[in-house]
Amino acid sequence: MPPSDHLRPVDPDARLRSADAVRGFALFGVLLVNMFNFGAYSSEWTDSLDQTFNAAMHAVFETKSWRLFAMLFGFGFALQLARLESLGGGNLWFYFRRIAILFVIGVGHALFYDGDILMEYALLGFILPVFRRLAAGTLLTLTFLLMLAFPVGNVVDSLRGASAPVDADASLSLAELRDDHPYLGTLSDVFETNAEVIPPRLWNGLNEPESSFAIFAMILLGFQIGRSRLVHDAAEHTKKWRWILRWGMTTGLVFAAIEWYLGRYHGYAAFEGNTASMGIRFLGDLLFLFGSTALSLAFGAGILLLAEQGKWDTVLSPLQSLGRMGLTIYLSGTLMFTLLFYGYGFGQLYLLGPLATTAYAVLFFVIQIVFSSWWLRYFRFGPVEWIWRCLTYLQIQPLRIPTLAASPVSTEGRRRP
């Protein structure tokens, strides 16, 4: 194993701030989409403003946010691996311990919210090293094939005559869904209900749009982006990032428009309620799959290009602060929205439409921005990141930032946004 005295957390000033800004953007989308799961998706919200905000959430954040988040996980693995190998860390004991701790954090999070993604990322992270030495072409081909599990799997199910899974709650009104819901009970009721998702069943629903295959495909794509150093040397690859931005926006918007047409006039739906023919569904699935991925890449490319221009520092600095504390921000979002929706808090489960839900998400996000910006003035890591690092390195890590007078620090060689 690599000598422990060589392993230290990355200096915060050496981080890739453009990647942190992308992560901050993705975190808001994850927060918003998670909050929509508590009633805002319902067709009962017919007010024009509610429908507008529902459409905006679907167009900009739904699916795109978790795709970006998964890519960033793979991207982070590429950085860790490169660093370990540069230190002579041929075996991955350090990485596996870090992933195992993430899984435990995910278990605790899942008890509060059954939509946890940390456990699944950790389990997929355990098998990720198997693919680390694949050539770029092979890795991208595997990514493409994993993505196709969603549309191809639906075609196979149709040919077999298998019926689509039915959501037992789909026919219930919001008032009926609230009736005796465990989330409106005690904390032990919440824990007992959510314990059913621990551990996550990676093998379930492999042909669904947000299956483990789909998530792992995005992790592999992010890993290849990290390995290619397109982000590290973004100034040298400006033309490529501009091409990704133009291609992603054009492809994503065109595909989204055709998908909307298929939904409105042919009964297509990516998640549930699909009444389209097999051929229409296959086309719609392809459009949804590659359109959302293209838009995710475009959003990331756009933020990265802005981060390379110093004039956008003031705008992007809050997102960078959030990205530096990504795990803390993800968990604190759950803390806030569960207090809003659950019975041991304000009990607003199934009472808020798209407009109100979005307003609360923005409020929570502003609170997170203020907190993260303040915290990072005095501390090197977010609170949960600090705990994660202490457990990973098996020693207490320095948390407070020393004052300039006590510990002058040279800025030579630091990465700039």
Q: What is the mean pLDDT of the segment spanning 339-350?
A: 96
What is the overall mean pLDDT for the chain? 88
Residue 167: pLDDT band (50, 70, 90) is low
Contact 211, 221 (CB under 8 A): no
Q: What is the mean pLDDT of the segment spanning 47-63?
A: 94
Residue 1: pLDDT band (50, 70, 90) is very low
Name the region of 229 (left: φ>0; alpha: ψ -120 to 50; beta: rest). left
Which of 4-18, 57-71, 78-92, 170-184 has the lowest average pLDDT? 4-18
pLDDT attached to residue 218? 96
pLDDT attached to residue 417? 32
DSSP 379: B
Q: So where are the chain's domains?
A: 4-161+171-393
- Read off the pLDDT of residues 104-127 as tens digits, 9 standing for 90 and up: 999 999 999 999 999 999 999 999
- Read off the pLDDT of residues 59-99 as tens digits, 9 standing for 90 and up: 999 999 999 999 999 998 888 877 776 666 556 788 899 99
Higher pLDDT: 82 or 26? It is 26
Residues in the chain: 417
Is the peptide bond preceding residue 354 cis, with omega within 30 degrees of 0?
Answer: no
Count of helix runs (H) and strand runs (E) in the chain = 16, 0
pLDDT at 103 over 80: yes
- Read off the pLDDT of residues 246-305 as tens digits, 9 standing for 90 and up: 999 999 999 999 999 999 999 999 887 788 899 999 999 999 999 999 999 999 999 999
Scan for tokens 């278990």, then name that residue: 107
pLDDT at 101 over 50: yes
Query: Which three-class secondary structure state does DSSP give residue 224?
Result: helix
- Read off the pLDDT of residues 183-205 as tens digits, 9 standing for 90 and up: 999 999 999 999 999 999 888 88
Contact 184, 103 (CB under 8 A): no
